[in-house]
Structure formats: C-alpha cells, structure tokens
Amino acid sequence: MNKTTLQQLIEQASLLDQQKRYAEADAITAKIIRIAEDIQAENSMQQYTPGMQLTPGQQVQLDSGDVNQIEQVINSGQPGQINVGGNNWYVTHGTPDGYYLLDPNMKSKFLNMYPEFPDTKGDESIKARQDEQGNIFVDGNTLSKILGGQAWLACHDTVGGGSGQAARSPNEIEVGIQQQGDKKIPFIQSAQVKKKLIRTSASEFTLPDLPYEENALSPTIDAQTMSIHHGKHHKTYVEKLNEAIGKHKELKGKSIEELLEDISSLPSDVKKAIRNNGGGHYNHSMFWKIMSPDGGGEPKGEIKKVIDEHFGSFEEFKKAFIEEGKKRFGSGWVWLVKTDDGFKIISTPNQDNPIITGAGKPIFGIDLWEHAYYLKYKNNREDYLNAWWKVVNWKQINKNLNS
Ligand SMILES: [Fe+2]
C-alpha cells in the first residue's frame, strides 16, 4: 500500500470537510476506509517489536504478559510511565474536553519550558489549563512538544469495555485489550486514519441540534449546563457509539433502538460501549425534545388522561416521579414507561433505559446525572427535579405516547 497516497487522501478529505463539502469528503473517506481495512487485514494483529514504525491506523498485538500492566493503567486513571512491548511509554488519560492530565514529571518539564505559565510568552500553539489543585492539562500538540515529538499511549477511559477510545492526535497511540473468547489480547493502535474513520462513521449516528438556543431554558436549566451537556457529553456518546459500531460491519445501518433492544447478543468487545454510549445517545436525543422554552404547565391531551387514570392526578404523578428520581443512587434516569399492563414510573442506572432493560416503551425520562444540574442546583437533585416541570414539553410527550 502506498502510504503517500493514503496521506494525500486524508488531507483531501479533511480539506473538503472544512469546506463543508461533506458529500465529496464522504466519498473520499469511503475510499480511505477501504484502504485502511486492507492495511488492517494485511497487518492483522502483527506482533509489536520495540521501535517498530506503525502505519496510520495500524493495530498490533502486544505480548500477552503486558495485559496486567495495561489493565492497571486503564483502571488507575492516572498518567505515568509504563513499559509495554519492550518500550517505555508515557501513558495518559484523556478528559472529556480532549485534554490530558500531566503527571508530576511531565508537569515539571512543562513548567521548565514555560516558567511563566499561564503566561506562555506569546506561544499561541500552547493550549493548557490549570485547575484549582494545580493539576495541569494540555492538548495533544502541547503534550507532543513536551515529549519531544515522541508518541504516547492514551487510555481515554474504560467505557469501551476496557479498551481505550478514539485516538485523537497524530502522536497518540491507543492502548487496549481485546477479548477473544477466554483470551485477552493486548494491543496498541496508532491514530490518524482512525481519527478519520471516526468522523466518517459519525454519519451513522449524528449529534442532533438542540431544538432551541442554549440559553432558552434559563433560568430552569442554565446555558452553560446546556452547552456542556449537549456539546460535550452527548457529543462524546455519539462519537464513542460510532467508534464501537465501526469495529463491526454487521452492526452498521441498525437503528439505535435495534442495537439497544438486542444488547445481550452484541459482540462482547463492544457490548459495554454500545450500552453506555448508545444508551446515552438515545436518552439525550429524547431529553432535548421533551423540554421547551414554551413548556411547563398542566399536562394536556392524551398524557393527561394517562396520568389521571394511572396516578390519580398530575400532583401525585409528579411527586412519585420525583421520589423515584431521588431514590436512584448515583447516576441514572427516571422514566415513565408503558408496560404490558399499564404505565409505570421506574429508574435505570447509568445510561440504561427501558429499551435496554426490557421494562417497556419509554414515554419520557429525566436525566439524573449531576452533569444535568450541578452548576445551578449543586448536589440538590430534588430542587432540580421540582424545577424541571417548568420546561416540560407535553406536546412532545404526547407524540412519544403515540409513536
Ligand atoms: Fe446527561
């Protein structure tokens, strides 16, 4: 395979993408995918040797003795040094905004380079931030600079069934573990083509636009919460969902409901990623629509009948809903579900929903994750759950009831 051609195609697709010429970009990216698949087939889990040059997107197998080390790194959530595949690597974990936390050693290297930080003496290529505890987070280019252009291993988090997530920077190498039957196969994979593949497969599932401005639900839900919730959290669920789907051709083209209904039969290496991120995508896509700046007030139409018949009155329904939401320990969702014998209020953990758990047809649900309310309501979930009804969109809920 001609690497130059591949690189040229990637650049071409990227340029078209920037110019918003998506159809042309997608056509070229389809070509890139075919080439990348060929490369992967050619290099199918070749054994890694120290110093080996990886082609973009190449995945290579590490020695099985590395499994424990990699698992420790993935689970620790901490940056540091490890020796994997006979090489010493700097290993780091991504944050939701695409930055990397520096370990004390890298932090002092960084501060040697920029002693005046946060003043970087006009070097605009440096993207870094410091939190209140003095931790420093940097973007991929800056990390690459600190490491003198060397690649690093990245574990974005453990959501993807123990493997790392999307490699985002050219010098970033994903480290992960693939389960094949009873065997755990440690691997590393280089970025670039992979990054492109993720963008393309985003055409499978896309982040829906908010049906209103970010500040439209204020003061009930503030603009900053909406911006982070939609633009960071939901966006990440979509990206990770597409990445998981991209690993299995047979899953492409399935609807989100089809994937979630059949969660137990999904391939084991992506099951957890699809459960968490597919659930996240489904739940949030529903959530944006059932809120509206023109919302609130008493239930209308068919949902009013359902509420009165099954829960007595709106006041009683609301009370039961809030109670159920308060009871859920940790993150999750509280739902109105249509079951075989009527309607029920239930809650689910994490990004699970009634489709995944088989509890029935979800009519609507409220997000109980702290990211949905913490900025305004702090740890007071009950206040958030009480206030939420000021933006409830009964019109949409009636649509959900009849869909
Ligand atoms: Fe959320």
What is the rounded distance in angstroms from the CA atom of residue 241 to the CA atom of residue 201? 9
- The fraction of the chain above a pLDDT of 70, given in percent, is 86
- Residue 89's nearest CA partner among 58, 48, 127, 46 is 48
**Domain-embedded: residue 197:** no
In terms of domains, do 217 and 330 share one? yes
Tens of pLDDT, residue by residue over 284-294, are 999 999 999 99
- What is the CA(399)–ligand 1 centre distance, in A? 22
- What is the token pair recorded at 342? 């009527």
In the structure, what pLDDT confidence band is assigned to residue 96 with cuts at 50, 70 and 90? low
In terms of domains, do 14 and 51 share one? no
- What is the CA(234)–ligand 1 centre distance, in A? 7
- What is the CA(256)–ligand 1 centre distance, in A? 17
- What is the CA(308)–ligand 1 centre distance, in A? 29
Pairing label, strands 183-190, 172-180: antiparallel
The single-letter code of the amino acid at 399 is: K
**Domain-embedded: residue 331:** yes
Please state which of the ranges 17-31, 108-122, 332-346 shows the lowest mean pLDDT: 17-31
In terms of domains, do 251 and 187 share one? no
- What is the CA(370)–ligand 1 centre distance, in A? 8
In the structure, what pLDDT confidence band is assigned to residue 46 with cuts at 50, 70 and 90? confident
- What is the CA(321)–ligand 1 centre distance, in A? 18
In terms of domains, do 403 and 256 share one? yes
Q: Which residues contact 265 (CB under 8 A, 6 or more apart)?
A: none
- What is the CA(222)–ligand 1 centre distance, in A? 14
DSSP state of 262: T
In terms of domains, do 52 and 110 share one? yes
Tens of pLDDT, residue by residue over 149-181, are 777 887 654 333 333 344 556 677 777 777 666
**Domain-embedded: residue 95:** yes
Beta-bridged to residue 339, according to DSSP, are 342
- Residue 396's nearest CA partner among 291, 282, 239 is 291
Q: Which of 132, 167, 192 is the last residue of a domain?
A: 192
In terms of domains, do 152 and 214 share one? no
Q: Per the structure, how many domains does the chain have?
A: 3
Q: In the chain, helix, strand, coil percent, each to 5?
A: 45, 20, 35
In the structure, what pLDDT confidence band is assigned to residue 192 with cuts at 50, 70 and 90? low
- What is the token pair recorded at 260? 């979630």
**Measured distance between the N- and C-terminal CA atoms of the chain, rounded to whole angstroms:** 49
**Domain-embedded: residue 394:** yes
Tens of pLDDT, residue by residue over 11-35, are 787 788 777 777 777 778 777 777 7
Question: Greater confidence, 367 or 178?
Answer: 367
- What is the CA(119)–ligand 1 centre distance, in A? 35
In terms of domains, do 261 and 397 share one? yes
- What is the CA(264)–ligand 1 centre distance, in A? 24
Tens of pLDDT, residue by residue over 250-285, are 887 788 999 999 899 999 999 999 999 999 999 999
Question: Greater confidence, 206 or 220?
Answer: 220
Burial (CB count within 10 angstroms: exposed 0-12, middle 13-18, buried 19+), residue 242:
buried
- The fraction of the chain above a pLDDT of 90, given in percent, is 47
The pLDDT of residue 64: 78
What is the rounded distance in angstroms from the CA atom of residue 261 to the CA atom of residue 117? 50
- What is the CA(332)–ligand 1 centre distance, in A? 9
Residue whose pair of structure tokens reads 């699970």 in the numeric block: 352
Domain of 377: which CATH number?
A: 3.55.40.20
Helix (H, G, I), strand (E, B) or coil at 371: helix
The pLDDT of residue 218: 96
Please state which of the ranges 13-17, 134-138, 201-205, 325-329 shows the lowest mean pLDDT: 201-205
- What is the token pair recorded at 356? 């995944």
Q: Which of 166, 192, 218 is the last residue of a domain?
A: 192
- What is the CA(250)–ligand 1 centre distance, in A? 29
196, pLDDT greater than 70: no
In terms of domains, do 236 and 361 share one? yes
- What is the CA(358)–ligand 1 centre distance, in A? 21
- What is the CA(345)–ligand 1 centre distance, in A? 19
Please state which of the ranges 138-142, 238-242, 300-304, 382-386 shows the lowest mean pLDDT: 138-142
Neighbouring C-alpha atoms within 13 Å toward the C-beta of 365: 31
Task: Output b/e per residue, 318-355; b: 16+ Cβ within 10 A.
Answer: bebbbebbeebeeebbbbbbbeeeebbbbbbebbbbbb
- What is the CA(315)–ligand 1 centre distance, in A? 25
What is the rounded distance in angstroms from the CA atom of residue 96 to the CA atom of residue 137? 12
In terms of domains, do 38 and 123 share one? no
Question: What residue numbers bound the domain in which 110 lies?
Answer: 44-192
Peptide bond connecting 211 to the previous residue in cis, omega within 30 degrees of 0? no
- What is the CA(30)–ligand 1 centre distance, in A? 32
- What is the token pair recorded at 125? 């290529």
Question: Greater confidence, 121 or 336?
Answer: 336
- What is the CA(79)–ligand 1 centre distance, in A? 27
Question: Greater confidence, 83 or 51?
Answer: 83
- What is the CA(372)–ligand 1 centre distance, in A? 5
In terms of domains, do 347 and 215 share one? yes
The pLDDT of residue 160: 33
In terms of domains, do 25 and 86 share one? no
The pLDDT of residue 179: 66
**Domain-embedded: residue 183:** yes
In terms of domains, do 62 and 49 share one? yes
In the structure, what pLDDT confidence band is assigned to residue 66 with cuts at 50, 70 and 90? confident
- What is the CA(18)–ligand 1 centre distance, in A? 29
Helix (H, G, I), strand (E, B) or coil at 183: strand
